[in-house]
Amino acid sequence: MLLDGAHLVSDAIAARVTFQLAAVTPAAHEEPDIRTIVSALQRNGVETITVSASVMDAVSPVKTPSGIVALAERPAVEMASMYAGAGALVVCAVDVQDPGNLGAIVRVSEAAGATGFVAAGDSANPFSWKALRGSMGSALRLPVVTGIMADEAVAEAKRHGCRIVATVPRDGSPLFEMDLSGPLQILIGSEGRGLPPAVAAAADERVTIPMQAPVESLNAAVTTALIVYEAHRQRHGFSLPPR
């Protein structure tokens, strides 16, 4: 995977990701935070090369390169690790094809205490450079599984005793009336079509977020945020203050 920018490279070092190579421009070498990162890479035996600004422009996919990029191996994850313990909370994105949106889903999943993330079906690659930037390093820390179909992800979660909750735009149980405690897998559908009917039908429960008309749907990352934070609230005993 391509790590672009000081933030991602620094997060990858902290996550003990295995690096293959790093490249830095001469100007970036003069920045104290990047010098610190380069020193950490070199202490870990990572080959670090100096490249011209024009080479960095060619290597970096962003319009304004930060001056440092690195190639690294994807974190190895055993799917079973997501379901360890009594409080499993796994988010499964199904056919979410926008990499920035997918990265945002990974980020909010980690922020709300999810134990794992699955990119199922035709979802974007959560380790692509754009998704990695969207997740702001969360994909390097949260267990992430790819290359699996939605029905396989659901079957795996059920084998580990999870309830399966599918997000649907209408006719599901209202979010704030649902019990989101206990081992859980939350299915998030694509931006345009939502969850395939067969996937939603295979869930134990279906949840709908209340929306004022004429709004009919929400962004996939916003939907994820509302649900995982409601799960977080319930699991940690937070209640609304009395009026």
Map out the domains of the chain as residue ranges: 2-72, 79-235
| DSSP label of 14 | H
pLDDT for res 137 = 92
pLDDT for res 66 = 86
**Against a cut of 0.85, is the pTM above it?**
yes
Structure tokens at 15: 């996550």
- Could you tell me the CA-to-CA distances from 190 to 64, 140, 161, 234 in Å, in that order? 30, 23, 25, 26
Of 23, 53, 51, 57, the residue nearest 37 (C-alpha): 23
Helix (H) or strand (E) holding 206: strand 205-208
Strand partners, 208: 174
pLDDT for res 170 = 87
Look at strands 205-208 and 173-174 and give their pairing: parallel
- Per-residue pLDDT of 35-73, as tens digits, reads 999 999 999 999 999 999 999 999 998 888 889 999 999
pLDDT for res 187 = 98
The residue type of 125 is N
Sign of CA dihedral 209, 211, 216, 217: negative
Structure tokens at 145: 């599984």
Look at strands 144-148 and 89-94 and give their pairing: unpaired
pLDDT for res 191 = 81
* Superfamily in which the 79-235 domain is placed by CATH: SPOUT methyltransferase, trefoil knot domain (3.40.1280.10)
- Domain 2-72 - what CATH class? alpha beta
pLDDT for res 243 = 59
Low-confidence ranges of the chain (pLDDT < 70): 239-243
pLDDT for res 86 = 81
